[in-house]
Amino acid sequence: MIEFKGKIEGFLRERGTVLIEVPENYLPALEELFNNDVDVKIGKHREKRSLNANAYCWKLCTEIANVLTKAGSVVTKDDIYRQSLFSYGQSDIVTLRSDIDPARHFDYFIEKGKGTINEKEYTHYLAAVGSHLYNTEEMSILIDGIVAEAEALGISTITPNELEQMKGRWGVEL
């Protein structure tokens, strides 16, 4: 599978032909596919989040869990991460028939209520998206929230300037 960032340069609607500018180093691999059926997936380019962003997220979640545990709470870094996803991350309300296990569809969910439609019971959940699926802007929002939580607990974080520089490397415009 070849995957790259390209740019649509033009198209001929009547022929269903799209002209795409591709990085030169992909041309040999594309030439091998010439005159073959291929699977095509095109979407607007979005920068992926940085692994440094992920590492910083988990570092702060660990430090928050340590501070809260020392204060008498029983909490793990995974608990803090999950709470942060619901507080600062991407989530939505979803409804499933009550006989369907939401764990088969979502990693992070909270039951919010039940209802009946046509004599069938449904359960409403707040389902959060794991940060491994976030783009740079979504990850930036999540980390901003986690940084605020850490600072409120007196945990040392990188300076606002360092955070802005890190976000700049992620490709986030603020």
Whichever domain contains 84, its CATH number is 1.10.3790
| pLDDT greater than 60 at residue 173 | no
* Together in a domain, 88 and 133: yes
**Local structure of 112: helix, strand or coil:** strand
pLDDT on residue 51: 62
Q: What is the pTM of this model?
A: 0.67
* Together in a domain, 80 and 165: yes
Domain of 13, in residue numbers = 1-45
* Number of domains forming the structure of the chain: 2
Mean pLDDT for 56-72 is 95
* Together in a domain, 74 and 151: yes
| pLDDT greater than 90 at residue 167 | no
pLDDT on residue 155: 95
* Together in a domain, 70 and 4: no
* Together in a domain, 41 and 55: no
Q: Please state, in angstroms and rounded to a whole number, the distance separating the CA atoms of residues 24 and 27.
A: 6
* Together in a domain, 134 and 55: yes
pLDDT in tens, 19-42: 888 888 888 888 888 888 888 888
In this structure, what DSSP letter does residue 124 have?
A: E
| pLDDT greater than 80 at residue 1 | no
pLDDT in tens, 93-149: 999 999 999 999 999 999 999 999 999 999 999 999 999 888 888 998 999 999 999
84 neighbors 146 (Cβ within 8 angstroms): yes
* Together in a domain, 77 and 102: yes
Burial of 88 (0-12, 13-18, 19+ CB in 10 A): buried
